Amino acid sequence: MRQLPVAAKSIAAPMGKTNYPEPYASLVEGRLKRKLGDVFGLTNFGVNLTHLSPGAISSLAHSHSKQDEFIFVLEGTPTLVLREEEFMLNPGDCYGLKAGTGIAHQLINRSDATVTYLEMGDRAADDDVTYPNDDLKATQLANGAWAFTHKDDRPYEATCSR
């Protein structure tokens, strides 16, 4: 059966929902992420429409071992953080993040207005995510769920799905 077009703003997205364990989950409370690709059953890549309230971050600074990412700014002026470098982005700007580079990245909304952007990424299996500034690492399990551990491999209390 063919799916009809969907208004992106009609897709439910609880503010601040994340797979991060505490104390990290509360750090993204100003982020609203609509998983557009999931609505259509996409399995090879994901597409998210993400909104960042003033002062919010997209994620902890992180890098993927196997998953490429791409962002396209629709509204607002987020700051793209790449390791120690920062770049102000404007509507229409985009950036690609190649997997395996070890370049930690995140978006921060340092403005007084909401930032809206599209984020796209492949869903390569067996991905590992490194968080250089935090005592956290993530490993994608065979079923697609994410296991979060401390850097010394002690598990956090829960394993979450993406």
Annotate 4-20 with DSSP letters as a single string: PP--GGGS---TT--SP
Q: Is the pLDDT of residue 161 over 70?
A: no
- Shortest CA distance to 107 belongs to which of 77, 127, 65? 77
For residues 154 and 162, give the distance between their C-alpha atoms in angstroms, rounded to a whole number. 20
| Spans of all domains in the chain | 21-124
Tokens coding 153: 């491999």
Average confidence (pLDDT) over 18-32: 93
Average per-residue pLDDT for the chain: 92
Residue range 64-93: mean pLDDT, rounded: 97
Span 129-151, pLDDT tens digits: 999 999 999 998 888 788 999 99
What pLDDT was estimated at residue 141? 86
What is the CATH number assigned to the segment(s) 21-124?
A: 2.60.120.10
Q: Which residues contact 101 (CB under 8 A, 6 or more apart)?
A: 63
Q: What is the mean pLDDT of residues 71-91?
A: 97
Average pLDDT over residues 41-56: 95
* pLDDT score for 159: 44
Residue 25 has pLDDT above 60, yes or no: yes
pLDDT at 72 over 70: yes
Mean pLDDT of 80-100: 97
Distances (CA, A) of 105 to 13, 25, 143, 144: 23, 17, 26, 22
Q: Mention every residue, 6+ apart, whose C-beta is less than 8 A from residue 22.
A: none
> Nearest 5°: phi and psi at 30?
-95, 15
Question: Residue 158: what pLDDT?
Answer: 53
Q: Kindly tell me if the per-residue pLDDT of 14 is higher than 90.
A: no
73-87 in b/e form (b: 16+ CB < 10 A) is: beebbbbbbbeeeee
Please report which residue ranges of the chain form alpha helices under DSSP H: 36-39
Stated pTM of the model: 0.90
> Coil, strand or helix: which one is 130?
strand
